[in-house]
Structure 1
Amino acid sequence: MWLLLTALLGLAGGALSLDKLNLCMDAKHHKVAPGPEGRLYLQCAPWKDNACCTANTSAEAHKDNSYLYNFNWDHCGVMSPKCRAHFTQDTCFYECSPHLGPWIQAVDQSWRKERIVDVPLCREDCHSWWEDCKNEYTCKSNWHKGWDWSSGINKCPEGSKCRKWTQVFPTPKAMCEQIWSRSYVYSPLPRSSGRCMRLWFDGPNPNRQVAEFYLNGARRHRGAALTALLLPAVASLSVMMS
């Protein structure tokens, strides 16, 4: 009987063993599968050994008038270069990362079929982003939706007004979690913990190890739940066969 249970768990485990550590989400500009891209541009270059973005996408990520999303960063005045650099890095992370599997969810949107939700972003990344943007102005706390797109680029919606960054996002946590509809969740852990994702890095990509930690945790949880579900069925079968 235990052999039967082991076989059932093995089959279920195989179904859950999809390689979420190395894949690209189904979205507007992502490649079908990750792979080397030797000529990624500037801030996207850290992903060159294994990327979900193409060289063209990486170049467009650095442009003010990019075809990627036609997003107007200067909707409340010209954004400073130091603040803009963080949004470029955020775009590179989103477009190029092959290790976001644990946080990819299906969505029904015209421009993508998948998105990321609650990616734990290291506290240093959130704090430096917020610090370098705290003197900017914006009219919205959620930049994913609610814009006026009638001109082809995003403008502040009617009735809104430009306010200082710190009024819209009083803390780094508020900014990281709200600005992209909770694509990120603020992690109180430092980069050195190996338990949070980094937007900025040099050398080998440290985020695979982080994704593996969360994916293994999710697999353990599913395995325990599956065992609890199968045990009564196996027990009933045992009684019937005895």
Structure 2
Amino acid sequence: NTPHGSPLRLRFQPGSLEMAVRWAVLGLLAACVASATKESVLNMCMDAKHHKTKPGPEGALHGQCAPWKDNACCTAETSKGAHQDQSYLYNFNWNHCGVMPDKCKQHFIQDTCLYECSPNLGPWIDQVDNSWRRERILNVPLCKEDCDLWWEPFKYVFPRPADLCEKIWSNSYKYTTEHRGGGRCIQMWFDPANGNPNVAVAKYYAQNGRDASPAPRAVLLLLPAALLSLL
């Protein structure tokens, strides 16, 4: 609407100077929408079972979830549940196939903490229609070291590291040859003393594209109506 309360509608004759202005306005609008879309997937929490609505400080995060305490999508209670063998989070027992070795369990806890606590997975959030969540992550590019180390306890079950990381949670993760510290892959765990490296990774993929684009978020839904109002 204009300051007078009436919708803004531009009507021009083809070939006129006004037509050029019209397309310039459309271009600016598209650029603004694209910019807003990129920003909208940064520093966010997915709409899922145990996630907070918005990320924020959580000073009492437990164990391996502690690196996210300055800005987390999980609560302290959720972080404790991530470390329990019989956890209330998903009614699943890490020892359902026998006692899981501590080294192996460490990787699954790191995976749970990343999933529940990270505010940097926005570029890979996808819409789903489940009874317990409305969004999930898809094809998050894991750093080679993280995937390889996780695979080591499972080398007799999964032929390659990619088979583990991509299939164990139905393509939530994607195996990459990118290395930790390179700014092109998500680290499952990090030393908080050096800051959160996944912030820069999420920003890179938001600005430069990603292999798996999530379903358009609310800002994109406004584009058709906005463009029609200019015709």
TM-score normalised according to structure 2 size: 0.78
Instruction: Tell me the residue number matched to 1:121.
Output: 142
C-alpha displacement at 1:192, in angstroms? 2.4
CA contact (8 A) 2:181 2:197 kept: no
Per-residue CA deviations over 1:60-96 (Å, capped at 9, x if unaligned) read 1101111100112222211001100110010000000
1:211 pairs with 2:212 = no
Instruction: Tell me the residue number matched to 1:53.
Output: 74
SS of equivalent residue, structure 1 residue 193:
coil
Instruction: Tell me the residue number matched to 2:21.
Output: 3
Instruction: Tell me the residue number matched to 2:33.
Output: 15
Q: Which segment drifts farther, 9-18 or 39-48?
A: 9-18
Instruction: Tell me the residue number matched to 2:60.
Output: 39
Q: Which runs of 5+ in 1 are unaligned?
A: 135-164, 223-232, 238-242
**For residues 34-183 of structure 1, what are the structure 2 equivalents within 5 Å?**
34-131=55-152, 133-134=153-154, 166=156, 168-183=157-172
Separation in structure 2 between the aligned mates of residue 116 and residue 207 of structure 1, nearest angstrom: 15
> Residue 9 of structure 1 aligns to which amino acid in structure 2?
G
> Residue 24 of structure 2 aligns to which amino acid in structure 1?
T
Instruction: Tell me the residue number matched to 2:51.
Output: 30
C-alpha displacement at 1:214, in angstroms? 0.8
Separation in structure 2 between the aligned mates of residue 107 and residue 210 of structure 1, nearest angstrom: 24
Per-residue CA deviations over 1:86-137 (Å, capped at 9, x if unaligned) read 1001000000010111100000111100000000000000011111x23xxx
Separation in structure 1 between the aligned mates of residue 123 and residue 175 of structure 2, nearest angstrom: 16
Per-residue CA deviations over 1:6-51 (Å, capped at 9, x if unaligned) read 3213223333414211110000000000011111111001001110
C-alpha displacement at 1:179, in angstroms? 0.1
Separation in structure 1 between the aligned mates of residue 150 and residue 53 of structure 2, nearest angstrom: 30
CA contact (8 A) 2:86 2:94 kept: no
Please identify runs of 4+ aligned residues in structure 1 that moved more than 6 A. none
Structure 1 residues 15 and 64, CA gap change in structure 2 (3 angstroms): same
**For residues 221-232 of structure 1, what are the structure 2 equivalents within 5 Å?**
none
> Residue 24 of structure 1 aligns to which amino acid in structure 2?
C
Instruction: Tell me the residue number matched to 2:173.
Output: 184
Q: Which runs of 5+ in 2 are unaligned?
A: 1-18, 214-226
Q: Provide the alpha-carbon RMSD of the alignment.
A: 1.9
Separation in structure 2 between the aligned mates of residue 218 and residue 190 of structure 1, nearest angstrom: 19
